[in-house]
């Protein structure tokens, strides 16, 4: 009696694989006929697709990182351009504000009194803070003479000291070498001289024993060939009596300041 031959394991696995393939093919055929997805395909998608979607950022992340490094130079260049544009806008705004201030100052002076003289408009070409002088854009060709007053910002700014054909130089009233006849309009009036002590302070020396209150306005006295009376010089901040010399003094802040104006008028 012959013994039955047993199938080898490899043969068994081959038969099972063929049966599974036939079964899967049958399921896929039926699913396509029903326009659906077979159960095995759904199971594979459920297991592997989430894992694949989690790996996507890991795969794309380095690529995005290196693209960011490559565009860093372009971003820095754009930031520099923005910074330059911002600086240009700030400069433009500052210049516009300066022009507006000059326009308002000029308009204010045009509406001011002429003190009975012809007002010659001039530009301040140069300011020397150490010498306390300014150079102006008109000269003898326009009738400018030494000793004429320069007004700006509603008050006396300087006195002409040198004249050329097309320009002139004037000493600021804040100069210690400059003295201007001045008065306080009281009864009786206090008359004296104003001279400069510093760029921010003037001294009014007078002889009449008149009490001068802070805030009082000192004006030109008119005891001059070229400077008319009534031009404001400054405001009193304090007054005292010099016991050593027996003179009366009042300290002023100037009405017109050179750092606030670009245009002025010479009283001709």
Q: DSSP letter string over 152-170?
A: ETTEEEEEEEEE-SS-EEE
Q: What is the DSSP string of 95-137?
A: HHHHHHHHHHHHHHHHTS--TTS-EEEEEEEEEETTTTEEEES
Predicted local distance difference test score (pLDDT) of residue 193:
93
pLDDT at 27: 65
Pair of tokens at residue 155: 């008050």
Query: What is the pLDDT at residue 75?
Result: 74
CATH of 179-255, one of 3.40.50.720, 2.30.30.100, 2.60.40.10, 2.40.10.350: 2.40.10.350
pLDDT of res. 225: 84
List beta partners, residue 126.
135
pLDDT for the residue 248 = 84
Between the alpha carbon of residue 26 and those of residues 36, 38, 88, the distances in Å are: 14, 10, 77
Q: Give the pLDDT of residue 12.
A: 65
- Least Cα distance to 198 among 95, 129, 123, 106 occurs for 129
Report which secondary-structure segment, H or E, holds 239. Answer: strand 232-242
Residue 79: predicted pLDDT:
79
Domain residue limits, the chain:
10-81, 179-255
* pLDDT at residue number 11: 66
pLDDT value of residue 175: 93
Query: Phi and psi dihedrals of 248, rounded to 5?
Result: -105, 140
Q: Which pLDDT score is estimated for 151?
A: 96
Segment-wise mean pLDDT, segments of 10 residues, the chain, 268 residues? 59 67 66 62 57 53 58 74 78 68 57 83 93 95 96 94 96 92 83 90 87 89 89 90 70 91 92
């Amino acid at each position: 009696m012959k013994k039955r031959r047993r199938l080898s394991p490899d043969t068994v696995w081959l038969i099972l694989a063929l049966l599974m393939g036939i079964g899967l093919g049958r399921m896929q055929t039926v699913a396509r006929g029903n326009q659906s997805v077979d159960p095995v395909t759904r199971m594979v998608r459920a297991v592997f697709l989430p894992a694949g979607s989690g790996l996507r950022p890991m795969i794309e992340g380095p690529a995005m990182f290196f693209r960011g490094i490559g565009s860093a130079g372009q971003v820095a260049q754009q930031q520099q351009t923005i910074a330059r544009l911002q600086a240009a806008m700030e400069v433009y705004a500052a210049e516009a504000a300066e022009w507006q201030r000059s326009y308002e100052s000029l308009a204010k002076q045009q509406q001011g009194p002429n003190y009975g003289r012809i007002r010659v408009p001039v530009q301040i070409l140069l300011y020397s803070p150490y010498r306390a002088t300014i150079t102006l854009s008109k000269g003898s060709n326009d009738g400018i003479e030494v000793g004429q007053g320069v007004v700006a910002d509603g008050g006396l700014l300087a006195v002409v000291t040198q004249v050329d054909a097309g320009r002139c130089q004037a000493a600021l009233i804040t100069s210690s070498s400059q003295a201007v006849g001045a008065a306080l309009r009281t009864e009786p009036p206090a008359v004296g001289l104003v001279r400069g002590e510093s760029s921010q302070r003037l001294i009014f020396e007078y002889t009449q024993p008149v009490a001068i209150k802070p805030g009082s306005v000192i004006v030109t006295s008119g005891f001059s060939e070229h400077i008319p009376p009534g031009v404001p010089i400054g405001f009193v901040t304090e007054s005292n009596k010099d016991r050593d010399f027996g003179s009366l003094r009042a300290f002023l802040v100037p009405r017109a300041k050179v750092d606030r104006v670009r245009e002025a008028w010479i009283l001709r």
